[in-house]
Amino acid sequence: KGLDHVAENILSYLDAKSLCRAERVCKEWSRVISEGMLWKKLIERNVRTDSLWRGLAERKGWIKYLFIPRPGVTLRQHKFYRELFPKIMKDIEAIENNWRTGNHNLQRINCRSENSKGVYCLQYDDDKIVSGLRDNTIKIWSRSTLQCCMILTGHTGSVLCLQYDDKVIISGSSDSTVRVWDVVTGEMVNTLIHHCEAVLHLRFNNGMMVTCSKDRSIAVWDMVSPTEIGLRRVLVGHRAAVNVVDFDEKYIVSASGDRTIKVWNSTNCEFLRTLNGHKRGIACLQYRDRLVVSGSSDNSIRLWDIECGTCLRILEGHEELVRCIRFDSKRIVSGEYDGKIKVWDLQAALDIRAQTNTLCLKTLVEHTGRVFRLQFDEFQIVSSSHDDTILIWDFLNCSPQEETTAPSSGGSIGPSNHHNNSGSSSGSGSIGGIPGYGGVMGLAAAGGAAIAEGGGAGGSSSSGGGGGGGGSGGGGGGVGVGNLNKTNNNGAANNSSNNNNNNHQSDDLSD
């Protein structure tokens, strides 16, 4: 028994290909693998370490067969997991192929109302999509019915950015306010009055919130509860509207219509460096794990190393302003003003040997207006547009059917699909007696990016979209912005460094 335990422990480190070969070495090894349930353990290891496996386990329903002790192991149980593994791999290959070929099912939510003129920001999870509209409202949509289940009113201008967690929704608007809402009841619980122009973007996480505005400033807030938020610092230095912010425990990153990205210390809010390279205003940005990815009205996407400020790669292919951008460990997904969404290979983009013409995997064309905001996970893209629609691009469930559409006022839902002949379906049948689909898993990210370029304060501020990622939220009082060229009583961090890009005439990207 002792030797069996040692052998089992060693064999448990093998990958699938090696484990398959080990089974064929001799009957003893095959017995150890069977009695040790090593195929089950391999699946569990992948589910723990890989978000695609984890999401697939939730969606397909076989998560309930994992991470539970099974006393009295039988050959039948071993065979179940042994046969499950290649079927999982087949599903994963189908999903990856669907991303490469653009094979997808499409669901469409029509958000058009009497006063609506665009959907500027969104965030989603398993159950709902929360959206900010140009008609001054926040609308919450059911994922199961595609119907509007709640409308939040209170803003007196377009809702340009939002983010929510399990307690609150926090939104920013062209009315210059940040408002805090109870995510369950929809009740407005706080209003923050600080910025003197439109609030274009916000992020909150772990008791900290960062907002940015057309007034060229960035505000850093300490959040204690939904009714207790204090202004920690005001960061100034951008010479045009600050369109987007992102942060983690180390850095705050901001991008502006002045064509620059600025990096600040998250702890003491001190200015650190400027990233120069874009030839026109920067509309969108995401920062994670040392990598910054930005999109601009120069129609390009740039990848940056935040530590040294080096531009690692320029992605070209968009024909108009790149309005929104997100990335994960595999892909970059970007949306532009001509309605197109592009999917890029992130790992190839980070490889200096990769040819530029191989980096764009697919261009998706469905929106008939500017793409203001998108968010994605391993299985889907959710996007919103000036055309008053929210589109859900499903790369997992690709059985041939018609487009699913639901008007905002309610109405019929009919089923739909867009796929290439080369795209394979991931299938919806059962796996070894497991139901085809279990719970739906959506990875909540957030936001969008409102655009203003040129004069900074002043001009139209009724357009845009924005938001942040997951995190804890709260509310509290605010203070007015003083002279942006001086350090105010709230401790404004002023960086007024000149750079060559600031000497150019900026374009106005306000809608």
Q: What is the DSSP letter of 424?
A: P
Question: Would you say 11 and 19 are in contact if contact means Cβ atoms under 8 Å apart?
Answer: yes
What is the pLDDT at residue 384?
98
In this structure, the strands spanning 331-336 and 300-305 are: unpaired
What is the pLDDT at residue 69?
76
CA–CA dist 171, 199 (Å, integer): 9
CA–CA dist 238, 498 (Å, integer): 10
CA–CA dist 480, 115 (Å, integer): 30
Q: How far is CA 348 from the centre of its chain?
A: 20
What is the pLDDT at residue 400?
53
Q: In the numeric block, which tokens belong to residue 234?
A: 């005001």
Domains in the chain, please, with CATH?
4-100 (1.20.1280.50), 102-394 (2.130.10.10)
Q: Is 59 helix (H, G, I), strand (E, B) or coil?
A: helix
Residues 6 or more apart in contact with residue 163 via CB below 8 angstroms: 123, 169, 170, 202, 203, 204, 446, 447, 467, 468, 469, 471, 473
Q: In the numeric block, which tokens belong to residue 462?
A: 């009724």
Helices (H), 259-398: 346-349
Q: In the numeric block, which tokens belong to residue 295?
A: 């999109």
Residues 6 or more apart in contact with residue 33 via CB below 8 angstroms: 8, 11, 19, 22, 23, 39, 78
Residue 356, Cβ neighbours under 10 Å: how many? 13
CA–CA dist 411, 419 (Å, integer): 26
Per residue of the chain (511 residues), what is the pLDDT tens digit? Answer: 567 778 888 888 888 898 889 888 998 888 888 878 899 999 999 999 999 999 999 998 888 888 887 666 677 888 889 899 999 999 999 999 999 999 999 999 999 877 778 999 999 999 999 999 999 999 999 999 999 999 999 999 999 999 999 999 999 999 999 999 999 999 999 999 999 999 999 999 999 999 999 999 999 999 999 999 999 999 999 999 999 999 999 999 999 999 999 999 999 999 999 999 999 999 999 999 999 999 999 999 999 999 999 999 999 999 999 999 999 999 999 999 999 999 999 999 999 999 999 999 999 999 999 999 999 999 999 999 999 999 999 999 886 544 667 654 433 333 344 544 333 333 333 333 333 322 222 223 333 334 454 433 333 333 333 333 333 333 333 323 223 233 333 444 555 444 444 333 344 443 4
Measured CA to CA in angstroms, residue 149 lies from 146, 152, 410, 445 at distances of: 9, 10, 10, 21
DSSP string, 229-255: EEEEEEEE--SS-EEEEEE-SSEEEEE
In the numeric block, the tokens 């795209």 are attached to 423
In the numeric block, the tokens 């531009």 are attached to 311
Report the run of H or E that residue 335 belongs to, with start and end.
strand 331-336
CA–CA dist 358, 30 (Å, integer): 43
What residue type is assigned to position 404 of the chain?
T
Q: In terms of Cα–Cα distance, which of 97, 84, 5 is closest to 47?
A: 84
Q: Is 118 helix (H, G, I), strand (E, B) or coil?
A: coil
What is the pLDDT at residue 399?
65
Burial of 402 (0-12, 13-18, 19+ CB in 10 A): exposed
CA–CA dist 307, 318 (Å, integer): 27
Q: In terms of Cα–Cα distance, which of 277, 171, 442, 504 is closest to 292?
A: 277
* Dihedral angle sign, alpha carbons of residues 377, 158, 405, 437: positive
CA–CA dist 57, 63 (Å, integer): 5
Q: In terms of Cα–Cα distance, which of 397, 445, 453 is closest to 425?
A: 397
Residue 339, Cβ neighbours under 10 Å: how many? 19
Q: In terms of Cα–Cα distance, which of 244, 240, 220, 241 is closest to 230?
A: 220
Measure CA of the first residue to CA of the last residue in the chain; give whole Å: 73
Torsion over CA of 178, 179, 180 and 185, rounded to 10 degrees?
A: -160
Q: In terms of Cα–Cα distance, which of 439, 442, 443, 444 is closest to 58?
A: 439
What is the pLDDT at residue 418?
53
Largest Cα–Cα separation, the chain: 80
| Residues constituting the chain | 511
CA–CA dist 297, 337 (Å, integer): 9
What is the pLDDT at residue 500?
41
In this structure, the strands spanning 228-236 and 493-494 are: parallel
